[in-house]
Amino acid sequence: MNKISPLQLGVLALCARCFSMMTYFPYTGSNTLVFMAALVISCALQGLMLIPAVVLCKREGCGLCEAAAKRSVTLAKTAALLFLAYFIWDIFATVGTFAYFTDQYFSDQISRIPAVICAGTAALYLATMRSGVLGKCAGIVFVLFIAFFVILFLSAADAPDMSNFHLAQRDLPKTLMNDVSGEFVRNRELVMLVFLLGDVKGSCTKAAYSYLAMKLVILETVMGFAALVLGELAQQTDMPVFYLSCYSNSSLIERYDAGFMSVWTMLAVLRLAALVHCAGRCVKVMFPKLTGNSSTIAAGVLPAVAAAALLLKRRWKTVAYLREPTVLIAVTAAVIPCVVYLLVKGRKKAA
């Protein structure tokens, strides 16, 4: 049985978000305090968006596709197809982002092709495990993530720069909403969280909202600290966390960018594994006759083939910096669960 504790699922989704946070934060022109306020608003909106999925899983006691199957097989396969399409896109974008930033910024010696092959192979193996195993792995990786950032905090310069902590922003409402929208689209792991809610052994509500609470604390702490240490550079670069690791030093280690690469790579593998795991289960719903891990392997083939041409021709910059429409996440994570809930509820009333 695929069972995962509420905290494990929250940490798994949080690890996926931390990969995005460590990769880049698109500069919007606002100061740090405005951006931190936007984080709070964005998390509140995400909390509202998760309500249909939480209510559906609590009411039916199963996942979204399983609940849809109670109405009809066609509805279940349609829902699985929509989620599969999103997961394939997310796998494609994650691989591209990992390849691009490894090749262009984080290493002069490591080629993108071997790096992607190694990370992809590890992710595919991990994806064949149960969601509970993914949750346990997420716990280990998250502890390493926290330990790394504690070291960064202790090793950073001790002259804080408070220049970005103010609300003197031109056209504050527009800038704030722009930051909210920009932060919202960097949370593709919400779709994965919604899909795996049915695996939770315990409270679905706790799983969803513990993730949001932990994410808000982590993002606010890391971005606030980066702004204190880096000053204006924190909002003028797409990679403030990476530069924070380059800036931090101690009597033993001059720079911590090697530690950054290690933790970032583990988060990338875990994120890919979770996405392929979810995609494989979608394939299994659509083609129930598939046996063993064939559905998981099949789910990884399409994005791998699609990625090959761009990997070889170094055309990943567009994908890595692509800002997908906000509505895409909202429809997949909120509208689909809401429609399934209404259809299943309507069938029960009719019966």
Please report, for the chain, the start and end positions of each structural domain, with discontinuous segments joined by +. 6-350
Instruction: State how far the Cα of 96 lies from the Cα of 314, in Å rounded to an integer.
Output: 10
Instruction: State how far the Cα of 264 lies from the Cα of 90, in Å rounded to an integer.
Output: 17
What is the pLDDT at residue 313? 62
Give percent of the chain above pLDDT 90: 42
Instruction: State how far the Cα of 82 lies from the Cα of 118, in Å rounded to an integer.
Output: 29
What is the pLDDT at residue 161? 66
What is the pLDDT at residue 101? 81
CATH code for the structural domain at 6-350 = 1.20.1740.10
Share of the chain residues as helix, strand and coil, in percent rounded to the nearest 5: 75, 0, 25
What is the pLDDT at residue 50? 95
Contact between 294 and 318 under an 8 Å Cβ cutoff? The reply is no
Instruction: State how far the Cα of 194 lies from the Cα of 68, in Å rounded to an integer.
Output: 14
Residue-wise pLDDT for 243-277, tens only, equals: 888 777 777 777 788 888 889 999 999 999 999 99
What is the pLDDT at residue 266? 95
What is the pLDDT at residue 272? 94
Closest CA to 135 of 310, 282, 4, 287: 4
Alpha-helical regions (H) of 231-325: 233-236, 240-247, 257-286, 294-313, 317-320
Return the structure tokens found at 153.
Answer: 């905090």
Mean pLDDT for each consecutive 10-residue tract of the chain (351 residues)?
A: 88 95 71 85 94 93 91 93 92 85 69 80 91 94 94 76 68 83 87 95 93 94 84 74 80 78 93 94 89 81 71 66 80 93 74 51
Instruction: State how far the Cα of 10 lies from the Cα of 72, in Å rounded to an integer.
Output: 30
Q: What angle do CA 337, 9, 61 make, to 5 degrees?
A: 45
Instruction: State how far the Cα of 162 lies from the Cα of 315, in Å rounded to an integer.
Output: 38
Residue-wise pLDDT for 322-348, tens only, equals: 677 788 899 999 999 999 999 988 665
What is the pLDDT at residue 41? 93
Q: Which residues pair with 200 in a beta bridge?
A: 4
Q: How many CB atoms lie within 10 A of CB 162?
A: 11
Q: How far is CA 158 from CA 153, 229, 231, 245, in A?
A: 10, 8, 12, 15
What is the pLDDT at residue 309? 66
